Amino acid sequence: MSTPSTPIEQRWQDKTHDAVEPTTPDVDNASSPEQDVDDDDPTSLSNNDRLEWFDASPDLEECCTANGLTRKQFARRGDRVTSIEMFLGFWESMKSVQYFGMLQQLSIVKHPTITVIEGLESCPLLENLRIIECGLTRISNLDACAKLTQLNLSSNSISKIEHLSSLTSLQVLWLNDNQIRHVAGLGACVQLKQLWLAKNDIETLETGLDANKALEEINLAANKLSSFQMLHGLNKLPALRSLSLSDPHYGDNPVCRLCNYQTYLLCQLPALAYLDSIELTSTNKQVADTTLIKKRMYYNMRIKTIKRNVTNCVRKARSCFADNLNYANFNLNALMRELSDLEKELQAERASSFQLYPPGSLVTKRDCISQYIQQKMRVVHAMTSAYDALVTKLALLSEKTVRRLVLELNTGGNIRVEDGTAADVWYTSCVDLLKSRAFVHDLSIFGVKELKVLRVARINNRFLRNRFQERMDELLDGPDEQVKENVSKRGVTVKDSKDDGTVEKVATIGKDGVSLENSLEYLFYAQPPILDHMVPTGHGGIAGSRGMREQEYAVECGLRSVDAYAGVSDGGIKLSNS
């Protein structure tokens, strides 16, 4: 089988003095370099160089063989190859792609021996690069590929998005199935339209996508996005049309299992046309908007009710304070006048030679009135301090309650904090537990005689509960047992019998053979005082995010990882059991 000569080869053959016979791509019948080229041709030196490269580089030979290029064809038209594909093998290195200066598309799939991106310094025309299911650990050596528009480095071991500042023409970036924890390093990719980061370890978006205003499609499925607050970075993308947080090929995020998930995203991203690969209709958006309006009206009503009640309490307190203050001032004025009259009588008695009163009686009376005036002044001061403290306490209580309602609204009802009463079983249980574990006798040296519980609040955080439930499910023994959503503190699960419809209670046994009934325990956490004085540093800092205290952060996001406390306080989370 013979191959026709290209127009360039035909013109070269016409100019040569010695005719060169057409060659065949058969490797077995490949002629020597002396037969392939003419010594008088100006391009013969380049061809000879290419033949030497081919003979000296086994990686280059493997690349050419995989793409159907013989030794002779590489020498003749290797500089005009625009596409290379390497699939399923153990290619030692991709450095040999440097011999293909006109390369526009490069695809390397399932070559675990490729651990470094190299050889692309000589490929300035490269537009499409795919290195999938290899052994890459970092992104590097792409500075010369300024025309790159599509980059796919999925299924590697990349832990950081970096060295993309020169890819100003990049439009499609796929980094699925890696080990990326933070979205960053995309500031220079202003033309980026499609971003896939599925199956990574991303926990929050923060400001990593602020510069990518042209983004139209994002896939963040199978990450660790757990709350709506972690998706706030998407609000700054006006061109976003498709968002996938749940994908049938990769999986979903914990946030997808929260209540009002679709409603929240539709309200926050009104321009969205596809959510989790499902097309959104105008009806979906209308229902979401209506639901949001109703929820806002409900929470606004509750907030106004709280503020109105606080205002009424302050008004009544002010009225009561004013009445008592006026009465006290009236008494003080009378006492001051009486004291003034006594002083005058004392002066008159000293000036007179006759004593109108028993000796010392006026002095005694003056001292009594002075003491009574001081007592009244202390009462007035105490009333003023109590009133100011009451107003401050009501303001703080109102602010805290309003903040709880706003948190509940912003999280779609997935985080709720409710105050208990004596009628609630869990309230009584917590009070009894706390009192039974408090050793008041040991605190007597500090003047503590009794422990009084003022308030018990219950935290309902669906994400934390789901995370705990997933961990519990991993410990449960027996794949056939259908565990209910709520696992009681007694460690009892309910198994539904499909045969007779009866319900059987079984004790949960962990994989290590330890009964969970005996393993579950109450843990107590108290915020270290040093964290009260820390400066807020944002969502991932040690101090409370957005100015919140550490305990409030724990209510919303759970306790931080141990690494976040490195070098602070005890360098970890101190818990004590009951």
CB 505 within 8 A of CB 494: yes
7-27: per-residue pLDDT in tens?
334 333 343 333 333 333 343
Q: What is the mean pLDDT of residues 460-472?
A: 85
Burial of 297 (0-12, 13-18, 19+ CB in 10 A): exposed
Of all residues in the chain, the percent with pLDDT exceeding 70 is 80
What is the tens place of the pLDDT at every residue in 402-418?
Answer: 999 998 998 888 999 88
Return the minimum-mean-pLDDT range out of 73-82, 184-193, 357-366, 376-385: 357-366
Indicate if 538 and 521 belong to the same structural domain.
Answer: yes
In the prediction, which pLDDT does 365 show?
Answer: 84
Asked if 106 contacts 130 with a C-beta cutoff of 8 angstroms, the reply is: yes
Residue 4 lies in a domain: yes
Contact between residue 468 and residue 486 where contact means Cβ atoms under 8 Å apart: no
What's the pLDDT score for residue 533? 59
pLDDT band at 94 (very low <50, low <70, confident <90, very high): very high
The answer as to whether 468 is a domain residue is no
In a domain, 453, yes or no: no
Which is higher by pLDDT, 551 or 225?
A: 225
**Is the pLDDT score of 429 beyond 50?**
yes
DSSP output for 163-225: S-TT-TT--EEE--SS---S--S-TT-TT--EEE--SS-----TTTTTT-TT--EEE--SS--
pLDDT of 126 reads: 96
Residue type, 477: D
Same domain, residue pair 20 and 114? no
The residue type of 458 is R
Same structural domain for residues 305 and 356? yes
pLDDT for the residue numbered 518: 53
* CA distance readout (Å), 23 to 13, 40, 126, 382, 427: 13, 19, 30, 109, 91
Split at pLDDT 50, 70, 90, the class of 505 is: very low
**CATH, residue 84:** 3.80.10.10
Please tell me the pTM assigned to this model. Answer: 0.71
Instruction: Note down the domain range covering 371.
Output: 297-403
> In the structure, what pLDDT confidence band is assigned to residue 103 with cuts at 50, 70 and 90?
very high
- The pLDDT-based confidence of 37 (bands split at 50, 70, 90) is very low
Mean pLDDT, range 253-269, rounded to an integer: 92
State residue 83 phi and psi, 5-degree precision: -145, 135
Q: Which class for 281: exposed (0-12), middle (13-18), buried (19 or more C-beta within 10 A)?
A: exposed
Lowest pLDDT segment from 410-414, 420-424, 429-433, 529-533? 529-533
The pLDDT assigned to 497 comes to 42
Q: Is residue 452 part of a domain?
A: no
Q: What is the 3-state secondary structure (H, E, C) of 54-85?
A: HHHCHHHHHHHHHCCCCHHHHHHHHHHCCEEE
Residue 517 is predicted with a pLDDT of 52
What is the overall mean pLDDT for the chain?
81
More confident residue, 274 or 523: 274
pLDDT at 262: 92
pLDDT band at 548 (very low <50, low <70, confident <90, very high): low
Q: Is residue 421 part of a domain?
A: no
- The region of weakest confidence among 377-391, 528-542, 562-576 is 528-542
Strands 242-244 and 274-275: parallel
Q: Are residues 264 and 197 in the same domain?
A: yes
Q: What is the pLDDT of residues 318-354, one digit of tens each?
A: 999 999 999 988 888 888 888 888 888 888 777 777 7
Placement of tokens 């107003």 in the chain = 391
What whole-number distance in Å separates Cα of residue 414 and Cα of residue 465?
10
C-beta of residue 238 within 8 angstroms of C-beta of residue 213: yes
| Stronger pLDDT, 160 or 483, i.e. the higher one | 160
Give CA separation, 294 vs 129, 263, 319, 399, in Å.
Answer: 49, 12, 37, 23
**Domain closes at, from 43, 78, 113:** 78
Inside any domain, residue 559: yes
Is 458 part of a structural domain of the chain? no
Rounded CA separation 228/218 (Å): 16
- pLDDT for the residue 20: 35
pLDDT exceeds cutoff 80 at 52 = yes
Dist CA 302 CA 305 (whole Å): 5
- Judge if 94 and 195 occupy the same domain: yes
Same domain, 260 and 317: no
- For the stretch 174-228, pLDDT in tens is 999 999 999 999 999 999 999 999 999 998 888 889 999 999 999 999 999 988 8
Same domain, residue pair 391 and 336: yes
Q: Which of 33, 57, 78 is the last residue of a domain?
A: 78
Predicted pLDDT of residue 516: 57
Do 41 and 150 reside in the same domain of the chain? Answer: no
- Is a pLDDT exceeding 70 seen at residue 546? no
Q: Which of 46, 62, 78 is the last residue of a domain?
A: 78
pLDDT at 43: 39
Domain assignment of residue 21, yes or no: yes
Do 90 and 231 lie in one domain? The reply is: yes
Q: Are residues 264 and 320 in the same domain?
A: no
- Does one domain contain both 352 and 363? yes
What phi and psi values does residue 523 have, to the nearest 5 degrees? Answer: -120, 140
Tell me the pLDDT band of 299, cut-offs 50, 70 and 90.
very high
User: Is there a single domain that holds both residue 493 and residue 543?
Assistant: yes
pLDDT of residue 442: 85
Number of domain units in the chain:
4
DSSP code of 350?
Answer: H
